[in-house]
């Protein structure tokens, strides 16, 4: 019988996962009152090519959780290397996230931030709870790209490609 291992602490889990370099995105949508809502994340991945699906993982305790699970559309805004301040802003207090941040709304009401490397427009496909997060799956319905270097996150800090 294998020896019992102690549980992995939250701190150790963060340390382990922090060794995986990720891009930085801001997920945007409109809340129930039609106001823009968004949050910084690095838990974004492609799921399927046919149909084109992506997923994001949202902590159920996050103030953005209610907006994303109720949304019919949302956008994954892939941040450009010079947008560290945007990332920090959307990781901060919800009441000030869009202050001074340029964005536009598409005809479908999706919120696209200015200056991003890519904006991936999605319709909510499904969502389900796992652990303390909700996995939100979106069907990609449009988007745009811009040739620029992405903002990266590694070992608890921001980085760029050289």
Taking 70 as the threshold, does the pLDDT of residue 149 lie above it? yes
Give 20's pLDDT tier (boundaries 50, 70, 90): confident
Tokens standing for residue 32: 């129930």
Q: What is the mean pLDDT of residues 118-141?
A: 96
The pTM of this model reads 0.91
pLDDT digits (tens, 9 = 90+) for 76-124: 999 999 999 999 999 988 788 999 999 998 877 789 999 999 999 999 9
Burial 12-41 (b: 16+ CB within 10 A, else e): eeeeeeeeeebbbbbbbbbbeeeebbbbbb
* φ, ψ at 67 (rounded to 5°): -65, -45
pLDDT on residue 1: 55
pLDDT on residue 2: 66
């Amino acid at each position: 019988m294998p020896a019992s291992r102690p549980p992995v602490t939250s701190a150790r889990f963060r340390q382990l996962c922090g060794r995986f370099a990720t891009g930085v995105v801001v997920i945007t949508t409109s809340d129930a009152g039609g106001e823009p809502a968004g949050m910084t994340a690095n838990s974004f991945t492609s799921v399927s090519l046919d149909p084109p699906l992506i997923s994001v993982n949202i902590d159920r305790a996050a103030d953005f959780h209610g907006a994303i699970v109720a949304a019919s559309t949302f956008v994954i805004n892939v941040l450009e290397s010079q947008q560290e301040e945007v990332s920090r802003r959307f990781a901060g207090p919800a009441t000030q996230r869009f202050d001074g941040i340029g964005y536009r709304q598409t005809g479908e009401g999706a919120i696209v931030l200015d200056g991003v490397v890519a904006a991936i427009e999605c319709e909510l496909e499904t969502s389900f709870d796992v652990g303390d997060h909700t996995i939100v799956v979106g069907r990609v319905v449009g988007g745009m790209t811009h040739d620029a270097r992405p903002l990266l996150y590694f070992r608890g800090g921001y980085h760029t490609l050289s």
